[in-house]
Amino acid sequence: MDNEQYPSSLLEQAVTELSHLPGVGRKTALRLALHILRRDESEGVALGEAIINLRRGIRYCKTCHNISETDICPICSSPHRDRSTVCVVENVNDVMIMERTRQFGGLYHVLGGVISPMDGIGPESLNIDSLVERVATGEVKEVILALGATMEGDTTNFYIYRKLSDFPEVRITQLARGVAVGNDLEYTDEITLGRSLLQRTLFSESFSV
C-alpha cells in the first residue's frame, strides 16, 4: 500500500500499530485513528495508557496462570473453592466464561493455548508441566479437561491425559459433548456450557469404543 498518502507520520504510525490487532486491516485502523482524533484528547490518552498499563502491569497467578493482581489469584486463594478439582482451560477468557455458568466451585489451570503444530505451538510452550506438578502434590482428585471441541483441543486433551496417566487415582474427565463440534468455548451459550460441565464424562470412555 502506498504510504505517502498519510498527511502525518503520527497518523501513519497509529494506523500501522492498530492494524496489528486481530481483524483490523489498514482501512479499519484508519477509521479507528480518525475516531480517536475526533474525540477528546483525554479519551485518546486514556485508551493509550490503558493499553500500556495492561501490557506492563498485568501479572499471572503462580498456581493457575490466570491473570491476577497478586501472586496467587483470588480463586486459588479462596477458602470456599474445592481444591480437589482442577478445571483445565485454554485461556484467561475461558476462565471468565466458565465462572459465568456458576456451575463450578473448583480451581482452574490456564494452559495458555492448545497444541497446534500448524501454529508452531507444541506442548512445551503450554503450562502443562505445572499442571502435572499440581497433580503430583496429591491434593487434586479430579482434572476436568475443558478445552474447545476442536482438533487442537482434542489433541491437547489426549496429551494431558497421557501425561497424567502416572496418577491413576486422579479422575480425568472432560466436558460433555454438548459443545458443538468445531466451535470454541467463546461461541457456546451458557446453558449448554453449564449442562456439559454437569454431564462431564470419563476421558478414557471417549476413545475406548
Site of interaction with a copy of itself (CB under 8 A): 2, 5-11, 13-14, 16-18, 20-23, 28, 30-37, 39, 41, 43-59, 66-69, 73-74, 91-93, 95-96, 99-100
- Pick between residue 34 and residue 202 the one whose CB is nearest to a copy of itself: 34
Q: How far is the CB of 38 from a copy of itself (least distance, A)?
A: 8
Residues sharing a CB contact under 8 Å with residue 46, sequence separation 6 or more, in sequence order: none
Tell me the C-alpha distance between 184 and 69, whole Å. 27
Q: In degrees rounded to 5, what are phi and psi of residue 125?
A: -90, 5
Q: How far is the CB of 27 from a copy of itself (least distance, A)?
A: 8
- Pick between residue 93 and residue 192 the one whose CB is nearest to a copy of itself: 93
Q: How far is the CB of 36 from a copy of itself (least distance, A)?
A: 6
H runs (alpha helix) in the chain: 9-18, 26-38, 41-57, 74-77, 92-101, 129-136, 151-163, 190-198
Cell of 116: 497446534
Q: How far is the CB of 60 from a copy of itself (least distance, A)?
A: 9
